[in-house]
Amino acid sequence: MSGLRERFDEHPVAITALVMLGLGLTAAIAEIAALAALFFTVGFTVVVPLVYLLYDAGDGSDDSDAARSGSRAVEDDPIEELRRRYAAGQLTEDEFERKLERLLETEDVGPDADGAAEREGSKLERELE
């Protein structure tokens, strides 16, 4: 069942549109015109845009995308992925700390970062306590 959830998280609007189309066509084939009209009009004017706004409101470049817990935000930030896995119980505290240290060591800390990796590491240590 988790595969379906992951697939929906990747393509929520497309899957919702296909479901609405399938329901509308099924009602049309069954010659239930009122129900077909309901699925097509409400589905494509309310449900699909609502799913777009809730799940997929952007192309992934928007900063607000990182605030939601969608898969794109987690994929873009390995530290967030570690946090998610630790919170879900997939990693022990030792594994989490070891992987976090490795990430922070390999992270490219340039002059623009001003120790951002060190601040992130100490912030995570405070959260663990």
Same domain? For 46 and 84 the reply is no
- The predicted-structure confidence for 12-31, as pLDDT tens digits, reads as follows 888 888 889 899 999 999 98
In this structure, is residue 67 part of a structural domain? Answer: no
DSSP class of residue 43 equals I
In this structure, is residue 38 part of a structural domain? Answer: yes
Is the pLDDT reported for residue 80 higher than 70?
A: yes
**Number of domains observed in the structure of the chain:** 2
- The predicted-structure confidence for 106-127, as pLDDT tens digits, reads as follows 775 554 555 555 566 666 666 6
Is the pLDDT reported for residue 75 higher than 70?
A: no
| Spatial distance between the Cα atoms of 25 and 119, rounded to a whole number of angstroms | 55
| Spatial distance between the Cα atoms of 48 and 13, rounded to a whole number of angstroms | 6
Same domain? For 46 and 82 the reply is no
Q: The pTM is what?
A: 0.41
Highest mean pLDDT pick, 12-21, 56-65, 72-81: 12-21
Q: Which domain holds residue 81?
A: 77-128
In this structure, is residue 34 part of a structural domain? Answer: yes
